Structure 1
Amino acid sequence: MNLDKSVLLLCKGFPPTIGGVETYSEEVARAYLGDGYAVTVLTQTSSPAGWSERDYPEGRLRHFNTGPGSQLQVFGRMLLAFRRAVREANPSWVHATTWKPALVHMAARSRLPVAVSVHGREVMNTPRPLRPAMRRVLRRSAGVVAVSTSTMAQAEKALGVPGPVGQWRVAPNGLTFDELARTSADHSRAHQEPVRLLSLARHIERKNIHGCLAALADIERHGSLDFEYRIAGSGPMTDELRQLVIEERLEHRVTFLGRVPDAEVPELYRWADVFLHPHTHVGEGNDFEGFGLVIADAMSFACVVVAGDVGGPTDFVRHGTSGLLVDGLDHRSLVDAIVAAAENSKSGNAMGRRARTHVLDTLSWHKHVGVVADAIGAAA
């Protein structure tokens, strides 16, 4: 199939609204622009309602925001905008960045091929009354693109039939700070101690920051490592984590940074020697680490990562080579992994350097949208 260079994006959300799906949608839009596509985005976000144009370094896209309202009102406005975009932009295909916006494509009875992105949580936590609609969207899609093999498995399970239907592909996410990481100075430090540890995550149970603190308290008691630990982010467990720091007498070792603006995050990665993210599948109902973008981002700055051995990061973290995978619920294993990561960092950072090379070579938004286009083309 010779795809025309025009794509229509259906997005649940888009910046300036902040969120994972919103960021994903913008990165995908920019990747299409960079590849020479004409891009139209239909979404609901916090910008002024109606049609507008947005400029990026990669080019200009056309943007429609439904504005506020009930779900029925928002759906109706997006359906009308979809029909207008099809008439005026003449797209050759549609990319829904989550499954729910793809319902607009279905309601319009459009014959345009549609690809649907799957991230994980949104298919695992679909309310029972909406599951038939979700399955119908996935079955009818010309291409279903999951951000990791673990996410693909969850999507196949949610579909409720043996094996996938249509063109199903795994397309890893790109990196958040690709250009900055590529131009970052060599990740080495004149002073090897204290070892600098960093976590950047929402403060919820499955992110397992409490497990990191328990492990570090054990390490502190045995005097086996001189370290400094910074915790960025916020969430429902923040107060509990602060109390745990006091109980474990780690106040002189641990600093809470709160929510860090995106522009300041690269400097945190440059500061850190070891990035701690030993996530688990515990808490928040049906949830798991669908990809692990902050882990990949930390690797792109040559941090040695300690990540959970479940979910999406198992696709790009090679245990013992480009990072350490650990059972976050196994206290002893987590202690040993943190010490090993710190020792690797102090002795030349070979693991961090390999991690940086690996993710910069394999993870990009350009490659991601290329897989989407291939899936559409193969289904034609």
Structure 2
Amino acid sequence: MKKILHVSKYYYPFVGGTEGVCQYIAEAFPEYESRIICFNDGVDTIGSEVNGIQVLRIGCFGKIASQSLSFSYYKRLKNMIEIWKPDLVLFHHPNPLIAFYLLLVLPASTKLLLHWHLDITKQIYIYPLVKPVETALLKRANIVSVTSPNYRDASKILKNYRSKVVVIPNTIDITRLDLKKEEESKVEEIKWKYGGKKLVFFIGRHVEYKGLRYLLDAEKHIKEDCRILIAGNGPLTEQLKQSCISERVIFLGRISDLQLKYYLHAADVFAFPSITKNEAFGLALAEAMYCRCVPVTFTIEGSGVNWVSLDRITGLEVENSNSLEYAKAVDTLLVNNSLRVYYAENAHDRVVKNFTMEKVKWTIEKVYNDLGL
């Protein structure tokens, strides 16, 4: 049985886009023996098993510019590669420190699949230090996968490596989103709780690139009677709450996966106001679309967001950071039920045809075959 070592920042039960993708890929191919190496969210190094897959979580002592730090990681990674001898390393980028470690210890005979989640754009001051490692990693990789053609075509970093770039979309687990008959009452309870009014729903971390301030600004211009439900939290939560005085905006805080399903099925419009390429794909966007919750997005140059949801086909897309146009788009969907239903069905179908593991798996299988696995 061929062996695949997945190198991710974190892993389930840690929740995040990269972590979810890593888990889906690892668990979707039981014909390979997979192991995970990642950071722990504490100082201790812990070995565990998740759904039959061995996971080694390396303790870290801090972070700098979103990079977790660990001195022991190098030795642990080196030992795992030398002793376990994986046939393929699947590395989830960005993770600069571990990329540097990997380049030091990876044998020439071991294949490297570089899963390029996003360019490093935020940490501009330290990027000159990271770029040589990133360049060496791209040269060493046998194949580089990106999550959308939009991201591939717009990335200046990847332009010199186009010959080895393939598109492997992110995937969602639709089984946890399907509504069972006995759960329909939970959805109705949410609608009843808010007086049967139309619902606009947001979920995500409350950080700058998620664009929540534009959603709150747009709320002032939304004419239709509705409730805007904001789930999740983050460093901007308290600031956002203080800036919003509208009674029709409700901050829900963190919600469970089960609650998320109910809210997605209850809501009419999915607010996805992300504004930068830090939003490279939008797993939450795809989940909402599957649940027929129609999205409103901003145009983000080079992001896969506007490939996941297609303007005037699966939802509405407006000029980046334009709160007034965002409000008009939300109103359009809230007022026009037939249009919203049309987009909802198209959105659901697009996810089923493109972003489920069943559909993406064959693309990954071809990559594995091309690598000789």
Q: Determine if the TM-score, normalized by the shorter chain, exceeds 0.5.
A: yes
Change over 3 Å in CA distance of 1:79–1:330 after alignment to 2: same
Q: Deviations over 1:218-258 (max 9, x none)?
A: 23xxxx41101111111233233223321xxx21x111011
Determine the C-alpha separation between the residues in 2 that align with 1:103 and 1:361: 37
Determine the C-alpha separation between the residues in 2 that align with 1:165 and 1:321: 29
Match of 1:275 among 270, 291, 303: 270
1:75 is aligned to 74
Match of 1:174 among 158, 171, 174: 171
2:268–2:334 contact (8 Å) kept in structure 1: yes
Match of 1:44 among 20, 39, 42: 39
Q: Which has the higher contact order (CA 8 A, sep 6+)?
A: 1
Determine the C-alpha separation between the residues in 1 that align with 2:314 and 2:197: 22
1:304–1:323 contact (8 Å) kept in structure 2: yes
Residue type of the partner of 1:158?
A: I
Q: CA deviation at 1:80?
A: 1.0
Q: CA deviation at 1:38?
A: 1.8
Residue type of the partner of 1:317?
A: S
Determine the C-alpha separation between the residues in 1 that align with 2:171 and 2:147: 10
1:115-126, aligned counterparts within 5 Å? 115-122=113-120, 125=123
2:161 is aligned to 164
What secondary structure, in the 3-state scheme, does the structure 2 residue paired with 1:218 have? coil
Does 1:198 find its partner at 2:201? yes
Determine the C-alpha separation between the residues in 2 that align with 1:103 and 1:344: 53
Change over 3 Å in CA distance of 1:79–1:207 after alignment to 2: same
2:299–2:317 contact (8 Å) kept in structure 1: yes
1:130 is aligned to 130
What secondary structure, in the 3-state scheme, does the structure 2 residue paired with 1:63 have? strand
Over the aligned positions, Cα root-mean-square deviation in angstroms equals 2.9
1:114 is aligned to 112
1:166–1:379 contact (8 Å) kept in structure 2: no
2:333–2:340 contact (8 Å) kept in structure 1: no
1:288-307, aligned counterparts within 5 Å? 288-307=278-297
TM-score (norm 2): 0.83
Instruction: State the percentage of identical aligned residues.
Output: 22
Residue type of the partner of 1:118?
A: W
Determine the C-alpha separation between the residues in 2 that align with 1:73 and 1:291: 32
2:17 is aligned to 20
Determine the C-alpha separation between the residues in 2 that align with 1:323 and 1:61: 38
What secondary structure, in the 3-state scheme, does the structure 1 residue paired with 2:255 have? coil
Q: Deviations over 1:172-202 (max 9, x none)?
A: 1111x41133455799989995211111122
TM-score (norm 1): 0.82
Determine the C-alpha separation between the residues in 2 that align with 1:261 and 1:131: 38
Change over 3 Å in CA distance of 1:123–1:92 after alignment to 2: farther
1:169–1:371 contact (8 Å) kept in structure 2: no
Q: Deviations over 1:276-328 (max 9, x none)?
A: 112213xxxxx531001111111010001101221211112121111111124
Q: CA deviation at 1:165?
A: 5.1
Change over 3 Å in CA distance of 1:64–1:239 after alignment to 2: closer
Number of residue pairs matched by the alignment: 350
Does 1:256 find its partner at 2:251? yes
Q: Structure 2: state its 5+ residue gaps.
A: 62-68
Q: Structure 1: state its 5+ residue gaps.
A: 282-286
1:204-223, aligned counterparts within 5 Å? 204-219=207-222
1:295–1:307 contact (8 Å) kept in structure 2: no
Q: Deviations over 1:135-192 (max 9, x none)?
A: 11112111101112343245x4225xx53255211111111x4113345579998999
Q: CA deviation at 1:335?
A: 1.9
Q: CA deviation at 1:262?
A: 2.8
Q: CA deviation at 1:28?
A: 2.0
Change over 3 Å in CA distance of 1:135–1:238 after alignment to 2: same
Determine the C-alpha separation between the residues in 2 that align with 1:362 and 1:254: 33
